[in-house]
Amino acid sequence: MARSQLATQSFVEVLAPTLDLNAQIAKTIDIEEIFRTSFITTDRASECFRWLDELRILKQCGRIIGPRDVGKSRALCHYRDEDKKQVSYVKAWSASSSKRLFSQILKDINHAAPTGKRQDLRPRLAGSLELFGLELVIIDNAANLQKEAFLDLKQLFEESNIPIVLAGGKELDDILQDFDLLTSFPTLYEFERLEYEDFRKTLSTIELDILALPEASNLSEGMIFEILAESTGARIGLLVKILTKAVLHSLKNGFSKVDQGILEKIASRYGRKYIPLENRNKNQ
């Protein structure tokens, strides 16, 4: 079978079927590192990239809204990395002010004077974006911004005509609506969980290009697929965590692939609230 070309990262060497403890740990570390540094192309992310390209051309602001662990941040980082000269990407800190945010953006575009007073930073940034060749500014975790920062971002766009995209969860839309700023970032992209076929293709990519185990785990088929779909809700962030742990435990127990029983046990414990033993017994 030909290897998938979707994962933009070099392949992991397939290990021999018999693995000692050191080899098991090394293999798992390799997988964790590739998950951390690689980008797995999905239909969802590709659609988002096309949407971002349109905003750059039309010079319109917008927002990307979706639940946690669906890969928004990873996709946006990849989009920036693929086009470093034209896109700035920053993550807003908790209760982030205009001063802090604009300083972050100035640092991201390598401005020689990234710090200063609030009243100086916005005009400095507005004059620098076009000068530095920027075509888009992306602000992740935007729900962390203070009201003044949202208002200053609106003004920044009006002064520079460089589109600004905010990314976050549903709470971001609620905040913008409360501040009467929803129409200032009017275009919406809903970054949801992977659809059925996209999830299946993603699992095949992960198995071939990242896990690369001696035996086929058939992640995209049968009961293993059902376990992963149900336990992760097709959220790629949660999928990565569960699979990494399942690989380690499978190798430790002498398997050369992801074992279904081990996967099921690990998946059943992820994202579940603790229930005291006495309460568990009452529910039986």
Residues of the chain above pLDDT 90, percent? 75
pLDDT the model gives residue 12:
44
pLDDT the model gives residue 283:
57
Confidence of residue 11 (pLDDT cuts 50, 70, 90): very low
Beginning with the edge strand found earlier in the chain, give each strand of the sheet holding 62-65 in spatial order: 87-91, 136-140, 164-168, 62-65, 187-190
pLDDT the model gives residue 2:
43
Q: How far apart are CA 254 and CA 144, in angstroms?
A: 46
| Residues ≥6 apart with Cβ < 8 Å to 236 | 40, 42, 69, 70, 71, 74, 194, 202
Residues of the chain above pLDDT 70, percent? 91
Q: Are 248 and 28 in contact (CB under 8 A)?
A: yes
pLDDT the model gives residue 15:
45
Supply the pTM of this predicted model: 0.86
Sign of CA dihedral 230, 233, 237, 238: negative
pLDDT the model gives residue 274:
76
pLDDT the model gives residue 102:
97
What phi-psi label fits residue 88: left (phi over 0), alpha (psi between -120 and 50 degrees) or beta?
beta
97-154 pLDDT tens trace: 999 999 999 999 999 999 999 889 999 999 999 999 999 999 999 999 999 999 999 9
Across 12-17, average pLDDT: 44
Burial of 275 (0-12, 13-18, 19+ CB in 10 A): exposed
DSSP 161: -
Burial of 197 (0-12, 13-18, 19+ CB in 10 A): exposed
183-217 pLDDT tens trace: 999 999 999 999 999 999 999 999 999 999 989 99
Q: How far apart are CA 70 and CA 169, in angstroms?
A: 11
Confidence of residue 10 (pLDDT cuts 50, 70, 90): very low
Helices 118-131 and 147-160, axial angle in degrees (round to 10)? 40
16-27 pLDDT tens trace: 445 577 877 888
H or E element at residue 167: strand 164-168
227-276 pLDDT tens trace: 999 999 999 999 999 999 999 899 888 899 999 999 999 998 887 777 78
pLDDT the model gives residue 19:
57
pLDDT the model gives residue 26:
85
What is the average pLDDT value for the chain, to the nearest integer? 89
Helix (H, G, I), strand (E, B) or coil at 133: coil
In the numeric block, which tokens belong to residue 26? 């090394």
Across 55-74, average pLDDT: 96
Helices 222-232 and 260-267, axial angle in degrees (round to 10)? 10
Task: State yes or no: pLDDT of 85 exceeds 90.
Answer: no
Count of CB atoms within 10 A of residue 128's CB? 18
Q: How far apart are CA 248 and CA 245, in angstroms?
A: 5
Q: How far apart are CA 120 and CA 125, in angstroms?
A: 9
pLDDT the model gives residue 17:
47
Sign of CA dihedral 40, 241, 20, 258: negative
Confidence of residue 90 (pLDDT cuts 50, 70, 90): very high
